[in-house]
Amino acid sequence: MTEPNSNLPLSPVPEGGGKSPVSADSTGAGKRRITRRQFLARGAATVVGVGLLTGGYSWQGEPRWLETTRLTLSWKELPAAFSGMKLVHLSDVHLGFNKDAGDVKRLIPHIQAANPDMVVLSGDIVDSYSEDLEESVPLFAELKPPLGKFAILGNHDYKNAEKLIGFLEQAGFTVLRNRHVLVTKGDASIAIAGMEDVLIGVPGPDPKAALGGIPPGTFTLLLMHEPDYADQVQEYSIQLQLSGHSHGGQIRLPIAGPLFVPKGATKYVSGLYTVGTQQMKLYVSRGFGETYMPFRFMCRPEITVFTLLHK
């Protein structure tokens, strides 16, 4: 994805040294006074122009301006054999709304450039219809991290969940629905767990099914679409939860922050948090796609590259 050129001026610079030949200041000799109607007309034109520039940027600019966020985290529970592991987190692609296979084609090289050992997807791969993933299946299949690819469903993924899961599995993802798998390197292992979406109702998340049976002391990564659910799993030993759902607010304003965040992402909206007495790390992705409105403002789409270390 090509970053917009931030060096382009927002308005033309007048010739002759940068000062306008006509001033609105009526107090100096030889300077032309503008009428009230001219003042209002120019003001209205400025407002409309700024709106068009901002709208164009938030529609055609920022949604295509992918950011790769890089974080290094360490835990004593992570086996030394996994120290240095690179994990790419992708969330909220929302294929079928403002994203399609062309966007995925531009996305894949960014993931490949990170040379990940594992790729995880924390839900909302489509905006509504499972068929919108089909064209992107061979593109996602190009990702071949040695420790695997794992996915969960988000609240937008349940219209035809079984068909969507079939496409994800064709692309090489292991879909975790209230269960976990152990990933091994030599004699060491870590657990990757995933739960159903909390907003759907049925089947709903089941922590006992997803996390029960993990050997004590095992480093555990939880994929859960809604980040606020982190408060509901504090009785379990989880070192890292990866979530999405919020889109970071998708449209953010200076000082005010996000204009809207969905249910399930009102407490934890974007970025890295430390949750509970066990100091579980929670990362909330701003996501790759958009929903409801095809805009982003001050909230670039992202993938996150984690380097996990043993300490």
CA distances 21 to 9, 15, 30, 309, Å, are: 19, 9, 11, 62
Q: Could you give the CA distance from residue 37 to residue 42 in angstroms, rounded to a whole number?
A: 9
What is the pLDDT averaged over residues 88-117? 98
The overall average pLDDT reported for the chain is 86
Q: pLDDT tens digit string along 211-226?
A: 999 999 999 999 999 9
Domains of the chain: 48-310 (3.60.21.10)
Average the pLDDT over each of 52-61, 112-121, 139-148, 198-207 and give the range with the smallest value. Answer: 52-61
Cβ neighbors of 194 (< 8 A, separation 6 or more) are: 150, 151, 152, 175, 176, 177, 178, 179, 180, 210, 222, 223, 224
% of the chain surpassing 70 pLDDT: 81
Q: Is the pLDDT of residue 20 over 70?
A: no
Q: Could you give the CA distance from residue 179 to residue 156 in angstroms, rounded to a whole number?
A: 20
CB distance 150 to 122 below 8 Å: no
Residue 57 confidence (pLDDT): 78
Neighbours of 307 (CB within 10 A): 16
Q: Could you give the CA distance from residue 35 to residue 39 in angstroms, rounded to a whole number?
A: 6
What is the pLDDT averaged over residues 45-60? 52
Q: Is the pLDDT of residue 138 over 60?
A: yes
Residue 63 confidence (pLDDT): 80
Neighbours of 227 (CB within 10 A): 28
Compare 251 and 63 and report the one with higher pLDDT.
251
